[in-house]
Structure 1
Amino acid sequence: MLDFDTALAFLGISFLITLAPGPDNLMVLGQSLARGRMAGFGIALGCALGCFTHTLWAALGVSAALASSPTAFLALKLAGAAYLAWIGINALRHAAAVHLDAAAPQAPAPWHAYLRRGFIANAINPKVALFFLAFLPQFVRPADGAASVQMAQLGLLFAAQTVLIFGALAFAAGGIGRLLARRPGAGAWLDRIAGLLFIGLALRLVVDDAPLPAAAR
C-alpha cells in the first residue's frame, strides 16, 4: 500500500503535470468551448480512463514492449494522429454546415460520445504510454508490497485528480463558450477553432521525435 507522504508527493507533481499545456487539456478546452460543458466533462472522464489504461499497460509491461519496438511505436503514433485529425476535420465540416444553414437545429451528441472520443485519443497516444512507464515507477516502493498494486493505486490517484482538474476546466470553458455562442456566427467559429486545434495536435504528434514528452498532459 502507498504511504501518505508518497501519495501526497505524487499528487503534487501530477497536479502540475495535468495543468501543463498538452493534448488532453487542450482537447477539453476546445470541446468545452465549441460543444459545451457536458462535452468537456465527457472528454475529461475519457482522458482519465485512458490514463488508467496506460497505468495497466505500464504495470503489465506492455509500455516497455512498445518502447522497445520503433515500428509499433510509429504505428500507434500515426493511428493517434489520424484519429485526432479525423475529429478536427469533422469539427470543420460541422462549422461549414452551420455557416450554410444557421437556422437549422443542431442536435448535440450525447456526452458518452465525447467520453469515447477522449478515451481513444488518450489510450492510443504512445507518448502518454511512455510517460507513465517512466513516471509511475519513481513512486513505487518495493518494500511496501507488490509493485503492480502500487502502480494501480498511483494510476487511480492520477485519474481522479485528472477528472477534478479537467472537470473544472470544462466548467469554466463551457461557460465562456455559452456566452460566445449567443452572438450570431460564433458557434461556427468555435467549431473552426476546435477543428484547427485537433489538426494541430495531430501534426504535433507526428512531427514530435522526442522519446518522451516534456509533459504528457
Structure 2
Amino acid sequence: MLTQLTAAIGVLALLTLVPGPDMAVVTRSALAAGRAAALRTAGGVVLGLLTWGLLAVVGLAALLAASAEAFLVAKILGAGYLICLGAYTLWQSRRGAPVPATSSDDPARNVGDPWLSGLTTNVLNPKIAVFYAAVLPTLAPPTMPVHWSLTLLVLIHAALTLAWLSGYALLLTRARAVFERPAVRRALDRVTGVVLIGFGLRVAAENP
C-alpha cells in the first residue's frame, strides 16, 4: 500500500506542478490585486478540485467523462471563460497604469471575486473531470475501500495544489514592486492574457 500511495503522490505532484489555467489565474490575481487576492484565487482553485473530487467519489465525474455531449458543453464553457478572461486582461494592459501600493491587498481591483475566479476556472476545466474519473481510480491503493482511497487521493491533491499555488503567489507578490513598473506591468499583463487565451484554445481542442 505504501508503495502504491507514494507513486500516486508522485503523479499528483507532477500534475500540480505542470503550468495550467489555475496557475495563470493566480498570476493574474497576484499582479492585479496582490497577495490576499492571489491566495483567495488559490483557495477557489482548491475548492474546485474538492468539488470534482466529490463528484468523482460519487461517480458523477465518470458520467461526465463518458458522455461526449456533457464533455462538449463543459469544454465550450471552460474554453469560453478562459478566452474571455485572457481578452479582458489584454484589454486592461492597454491602460498601462501602475497599481498603487496601497491597493496591494484589494481583491476587487480588476479581478472581480478571486474565490469565484479560481473556482470557475477549475470547475469548467473538463480535463480535471477526466483525470479524476479515469486516472485517479488507477492510482488508488487496492487494499483500501475505493471510496476511502479516492477521498484520500483527492485530499492529497488539494493539499499539494494549495501549498504550490500559495507558495507561488507569495513569491510572485514579494517581487510585485518590480512588476508595478508600467512597462513591466504591461508586458506581464499581455503575457498573462495570451497564456489564458492559449489555455482556452487548448481546452477547446481537448478530446474526451
Q: Deviations over 1:83-132 (max 9, x none)?
A: 11221222223223x33xx4896964349821210111101211110011
**Aligned counterparts of 1:103 and 1:44: Cα–Cα separation in 2:** 24
The corresponding residue for 2:171 is 172
- 8 Å contact 2:8–2:140 — kept in the other structure? no
Whether contact under 8 Å (1:92, 1:192) holds in the other structure is yes
TM (normalized to structure 2)?
0.83
Answer whether contact 1:19 1:25 (CA < 8 A) is retained. Answer: no
Per the alignment, residue 63 of structure 2 pairs with 65
Distance 1:122 1:167 in 2: 16
Question: What amino acid is aligned across from residue 41 of structure 1 in structure 2?
Answer: L
1:203 to 190, 201, 204: 201
2:26 partner amino acid: V
Aligned twin of 1:132: 132
Q: Which residue pairs with 2:113 in the alignment?
A: 113
SS at match of 2:182: coil
Deviation at 1:150, TM superposition (A): 2.3
SS for the counterpart of 2:113 is: helix
Give yes or no for contact 1:35–1:174 (8 Å, CA) kept in 2. no
Separation of aligned partners in 2, 1:120 and 1:23: 11
In structure 1, distance between residues paired with 2:80 and 2:113: 18
Unaligned runs of at least 5 residues, structure 1: 212-217
Could you tell me the percent identity over the aligned residues?
A: 33
Give distance in 2, aligned partners of 1:186 and 1:9.
41
CA distance in 2, matches of 1:184, 1:103: 5
| Structure 1 residue aligned with 2:54 | 56
Give per-residue Cα distances to partners, 1:54-102, cap 9 Å, x unaligned: 1111111112211222111111100001111221222223223x33xx4
User: Does 2:161 match 1:162?
Assistant: yes
Once the 2 structures are TM-superposed, how far is the Cα of residue 26 of structure 1 from its aligned partner? 3.2
Count of residues in Structure 1 that have an aligned counterpart in Structure 2: 203
Matching of residue 86 in structure 1 with residue 78 in structure 2: no
Helix, strand or coil: the match of 1:48? helix
> Displacement of 1:158 after TM fit?
0.8
Return the alpha-carbon distance in structure 1 between the equivalents of residues 192 and 149 of structure 2: 37
CA RMSD of aligned residues (A): 2.6
Q: In the TM superposition, what is the alpha-carbon distance from 1:27 to its structure 2 partner?
A: 3.0
Q: Give the unaligned 5+ runs of structure 2.
A: none
Asked whether the 8 Å contact 2:25–2:41 carries over to 1, the reply is: yes
The AA in structure 2 aligned to 1:78 is I
Q: How does 1:17-28 map to 2 (within 5 A)?
A: 17-28=15-26
